[in-house]
Amino acid sequence: MKVSEIMRVMETIAPARLAEPWDRIGLQIGSAESDVDALLVGMTPTFPLLAQAVEQNAQMIVCHHPLIFKPLAALTDSSPVEQVAAGFIRHGIAFFAAHTNYDVAPGGVNDVLASLLGLTQVLPLSFTDSRYAKVAVFVPEEALEKVSDAICAAGAGHIGAYSHCTFRIPGTGTFIPLEGARPYIGEKDKLEQVAEIRLESIVPEELVPGVVDAIRQSHPYEEPAFDVYQLANERREPGLGRWGILPEPMPAAEMLAGVARKLKLGCLQYVGDGARTVSRVAVVGGAGGDYLKDALARQCDVFITGDVRHHVFLEAADRGIVLADAGHAQTEWPGVIALHKRLAELLPGLRVMLSTSEEGVIKCVCG
């Protein structure tokens, strides 16, 4: 199996268009055309994860956290990121990240967390609002499907629960190759007429640069002709976090004790009234303190996330909501386990393994 085939499966699980604009996702190391016999699924690209991949002869790793988040000025041994990246390259291991797109995706980190905690009537905690653009590109007939697949893989053509939404109009393109041109079709200084298709599709504004890159890489012409239009269409999609209802109201402290057991936590920090009866619960896997305002807007009684800063704890206490820090890795790990299971089911011809490198890294001691 090729790396590119696994990437296409990951696109169905966690579409790239769902990622936050600041995020770094996708194939970060390796070639899309490399062969893969064994795949390792993990959370964070670390030395132990690299060691496990080498030991178990995995040719590709799919992780929740990206390896390269900021541009690297060099690839030496001066930082852990550079060392791990060099290790992946040295051993011929492709590295792919599905981060905020897997947080947001249906069946992703936050849906898994909400399900594990027994929430019902689960809804998005936040939404992403933006506008659409339209991209139109003129393609010779024989290259139509290649270009269409490329722009859709880059995030074009998604409308609600539908993907690969395009419109196609046949026509005739004309051009004269001038001095220095290297035409795919035609001869220098001679007018050429080509049967072409106007391929157009809707694109979230923030994904336009990636779609334009996909056009340039997949189009057979040296200078592909395309147009980008700004649209007035507004787009609202589920964002980070989920909220839902407990099957039965219960005291907050009792509910949080159940969270600690389910997430295998040695201890759990929280603020608020532990004796208060609660039923509406919000969750954000990873570091979600910034979504306290969304939990309050949904009138939630409890908000569970990780990496909570001190001032966020204090704000929650002032606002009367129970806020619990269940750990960054601990709230995301169930989603990684679910991703491993889904990939094993969707890639039956591949050896798909789950990382053991996260186990026991973060410990708790309660006095």
| Tens place of pLDDT per residue across the chain (367 aa) | 999 999 999 999 998 878 888 899 999 999 999 999 999 999 999 999 999 999 999 999 999 999 998 888 888 888 899 999 999 999 999 999 999 999 999 999 999 999 999 999 999 999 887 789 999 999 999 999 999 999 999 989 988 778 899 999 999 999 999 988 888 888 889 999 999 999 999 998 888 999 999 999 999 999 999 999 999 888 777 889 999 999 999 999 999 999 999 999 988 999 999 999 999 999 999 999 999 999 999 999 999 999 999 999 999 999 999 999 999 999 999 999 999 999 999 999 899 999 998 765 666 666 6
225/261 same-domain check:
no
User: Is residue 65 included in any domain, yes or no?
Assistant: yes
**Residue 185: how many CA atoms within 13 Å on its side-chain side?**
18
For 157, the domain range is 127-238
| 76 and 134 assigned to the same domain | no
Answer yes or no: do 223 and 288 share one domain.
no
- Is 285 domain-assigned? yes
207 shares a domain with 271: no
Asked if residue 309 and residue 232 are part of one domain, the reply reads: no
Burial of 183 (0-12, 13-18, 19+ CB in 10 A): middle
Residue 146 and residue 53 share a domain? no
How many domains, in total, are found in the chain?
A: 3
Q: Domain containing 257 — which CATH number?
A: 3.40.1390.30
pLDDT of residue 115: 97
Domain end position, chosen among 238, 272, 299: 238
Last residue of a domain, one of 238, 268, 285: 238
Q: Is residue 315 part of a domain?
A: yes
Are 30 and 71 members of one domain? yes
- Give domain status of residue 366, yes or no: no
| Residue 363 domain flag | no
Examine the domain organization and report whether 209 and 305 are in the same domain: no
Residues 141 and 213 placed together within one structural domain of the fold: yes
Are residues 138 and 231 located together in one domain of the fold? yes
208: in domain: yes
- In a shared domain, residues 95 and 10: yes
Asked if 79 and 225 sit in the same domain, the reply is: no
Would residue 364 count as lying in a domain?
A: no
- If DSSP states are collapsed to H, E and C, what string results for the chain? CEHHHHHHHHHHHCCHHHCCCCCCCEEEECCCCCECCEEEEECCCCHHHHHHHHHCCCCEEEECCCCCCCCCCCCCCCCHHHHHHHHHHHCCCEEEECCHHHHHCCCCHHHHHHHHCCCEEEEECCEEEEEEEEEEEEEEHHHHHHHHHHHHHCCCCCECCECCCCEEEEEEEEECCCCCCCCCCCCCCCCEEEEEEEEEEEEEHHHHHHHHHHHHHHCCCCCCCEEEEEEEEEEEEECCCEEEEEEEEEEHHHHHHHHHHHCCCCCCEEECCCCCEEEEEEEEEEECHHHHHHHHHCCCCEEEEECCCHHHHHHHHHHCCEEEECCHHHHHHHHHHHHHHHHHHHCCCCEEEECCCCCCCCCCCCC
**Domain harbouring 204, CATH code:** 3.30.70.120
* 360 in a structural domain: no
